[in-house]
Amino acid sequence: MTAMQTAFDIANAVRSGDLSAVEVTQYYLSQIEAREPEIHAFNEVTAQKALDCAAALDQRVQAGESVGALAGVPIAIKDNLCTKGTATTCSSKILEAWIAPYDATVVKRVAEAGAIAIGKTNLDEFAMGSSTENSAFGVTRNPVDTTRVPGGSSGGSAAAVAGGFAPISLGSDTGGSIRQPAAFCGVVGVKPTYGLVSRYGLVAFASSLDQVGPFARTVKDSALLLEVLAGHDPADATSIPQPAPSLVSHLDDGVQGLRVGLVSELMGEGIQPEVAAQVRASAEALAAAGAIVEEVSVPAVTYGLSAYYLIAPAEASSNLARFDGVRYGLRVDAPTTNEMMVATRTAGFGPEVKRRIMLGTYALSAGYYDAYYGRALKVRRLIHDDFARAYQQADVLITPTSPTVAFPFGAKGDNPLAMYLCDLYTIPTNLAGHPGMSVPFGTGADGLPVGVQVLAGTLDEVTMFKVGAALERAATAEAAKGAER
């Protein structure tokens, strides 16, 4: 066993009996034991539970039973996805002792596919942040450079894959929370079309934006995992009523004749020169592979950040009202009900969560709703319409995933606006509801990973993955040339 083995290869080896699920699980638990104190990717490592599941799966293999597409593959679960019998904390003190009574649909689906849940990963509290510095349980460090952030909010899930603690992991993406940490940690991260993957059992941040998706080392592994996650779920009213797409079978189709648009508005001011250079190099690589590459304009994306930081906090202020000290989670006793709720929320929520609740409550308040929240919804429509026009000119769009490579701890913590700007390139896709993925493509400043973002229209994951696979092949070939030099 090596940490570089793909989920695809592990599953094949377990199904054939060449590897046992217990052997695989023990290997990854040893990797966690060796480096987890330094990285802190996990809020909880469920070692014994994982070993028990692996032993049960090995018995099924020996009995000749079908054990699924992810047979014996360890998977890390973001700690805002309900996992029955395990703490689901959202990295918040208000849920520190809460044990989920049921499994999220995605947790159930990966288990049914034979994956072995190995632990719950750290995140920015309630998924609000871009660096995993907002967790109530300590920061997660980037395995590529432990002086740097892993991105956020799914920083623990990205770090678990990048650090070799699990071949695949689950994250959630509300404004870039899968794609940005994937870029910072040098792994693949995918935000599916809104509604393609069930949100049932995901602790809500902003319900019209949240989406669950995969992290993996390779495009093929991320496609394999998304095939397991996707598909209609009657328990989620926003779930699209159609089956999961077939993705793995199309990865080698190539990009000959595909129209690729380089979004001009996202290649200008504020981007590090090394990041811009790698994105342009990725466009050249796609052109060399037969794609037709040209610049495309999506004017309204420049308003995405402003619209998002009205819509998302407004939805968060509503969703987080349920954490009141009465129904579940932390309760701080006080003489009256109102005083108890205030004391509970004051003690239970961190500064960033409080900031966003206040922003959202203000935007929804009487006399300001139309001026702020209502106008933001109109801007969201403009963004959707501009993307629709862009997809008439191009089959996919490419942009940087983040304007910079991973930054040092504390570099943006005192400046919320600087932190929010980290999601400038990922947010518009959430507002439009379209799919997006980040694929590692070379390095930038200080030799740190750069992610190229591939965007596609609604439910066009197949084309997006074709382009992602082509970028991965080009990046691998370039790395091989560099090693020879």
Digit-coded pLDDT (tens) for 149-194: 999 999 999 999 999 999 999 999 999 999 999 999 999 999 999 9
Banded pLDDT at 96 (limits 50, 70, 90):
very high
Predicted pLDDT at 205: 97
- Both structure tokens of 1: 């066993």
Superfamily of domain 7-250: Amidase signature (AS) domain (3.90.1300.10)
Residue 61 pLDDT > 70 = yes
Mean pLDDT, range 438-443, rounded to an integer = 97
Mean pLDDT, range 189-201, rounded to an integer = 98
pLDDT tens, 391-435? Answer: 999 999 999 999 999 999 999 877 888 888 889 999 999 999 999
Predicted pLDDT at 55: 98
pLDDT tens, 322-373? Answer: 999 999 999 999 999 999 999 999 999 999 999 999 999 999 998 899 999 9
Mean pLDDT, range 193-198, rounded to an integer = 98
**For a pLDDT cut of 90, what percent of the chain falls above it?**
93
Residue 269 pLDDT > 90 = no
Mean pLDDT, range 31-49, rounded to an integer = 98
Q: Are strands 168-172 and 212-216 parallel, antiparallel or unpaired?
A: antiparallel
Mean pLDDT, range 468-473, rounded to an integer = 98
Q: Considering the candidates 153, 154, 282, 317, report the single residue annotated as catalytic.
A: 153
- Annotation says 220 is catalytic: no
- Annotation says 177 is catalytic: yes
Mean pLDDT, range 131-137, rounded to an integer = 97
Banded pLDDT at 3 (limits 50, 70, 90):
low
Between 370 and 483, where is the model more confident?
370
DSSP codes, 315-331: HHHHHGGG-SSSSSS--
According to DSSP, the residues that pair with 87 across neighbouring strands are 99
Residue 482 pLDDT > 90 = no
**Mean pLDDT, rounded, of the chain:** 96
Residue 443 pLDDT > 90 = yes
Give the residue ranges of DSSP H helices in 80-209.
105-112, 155-162, 179-185
Q: Considering the candidates 20, 78, 131, 220, report the single residue annotated as catalytic.
A: 78
Mean pLDDT, range 245-267, rounded to an integer = 97
Predicted pLDDT at 314: 97
Between 3 and 271, where is the model more confident?
271
Q: Range with the lowest mean pLDDT among 141-145, 302-306, 476-480?
A: 476-480
**For a pLDDT cut of 70, what percent of the chain falls above it?**
98
Comparing CA positions, the residue from 393, 457, 400 lying closest to residue 429 is 457
Predicted pLDDT at 270: 85
Predicted pLDDT at 430: 98
Banded pLDDT at 485 (limits 50, 70, 90):
low
CB 320 within 8 A of CB 278: no
Mean pLDDT, range 370-393, rounded to an integer = 97
CB 160 within 8 A of CB 150: no
Instruction: Compute the distance between CA of residue 311 and CA of residue 206 in angstroms, rounded to an integer.
Output: 8
Predicted pLDDT at 413: 78
Q: Range with the lowest mean pLDDT among 118-127, 158-167, 207-216, 405-414?
A: 405-414
Predicted pLDDT at 189: 98
For residue 461, CA distances in Å to 395, 458, 470 come to 11, 8, 14
Comparing CA positions, the residue from 4, 48, 1 lying closest to residue 27 is 1
Comparing CA positions, the residue from 45, 42, 34 lying closest to residue 138 is 42
Q: Range with the lowest mean pLDDT among 3-7, 241-245, 468-472?
A: 3-7
Instruction: Compute the distance between CA of residue 58 and CA of residue 41 in angstroms, rounded to an integer.
Output: 27
Q: Considering the candidates 130, 135, 154, 177, report the single residue annotated as catalytic.
A: 177
The kind and range of the H/E element at 121 are strand 116-121
Comparing CA positions, the residue from 305, 297, 474, 278 lying closest to residue 397 is 297
Burial class (CB in 10 A: 0-12, 13-18, 19+), 59: exposed
- Annotation says 191 is catalytic: no
Mean pLDDT, range 37-63, rounded to an integer = 98
Predicted pLDDT at 414: 79
Q: For residue 174, give the 3-state DSSP assignment.
A: coil
Banded pLDDT at 1 (limits 50, 70, 90):
low
Plot region of 227 (φ>0 → left; ψ -120 to 50 → alpha; else → beta): alpha
CB atoms within 10 A of CB 232: 15
Predicted pLDDT at 415: 83
Cβ neighbours of residue 479 under 8 Å, at least 6 residues apart?
A: none
Banded pLDDT at 481 (limits 50, 70, 90):
confident
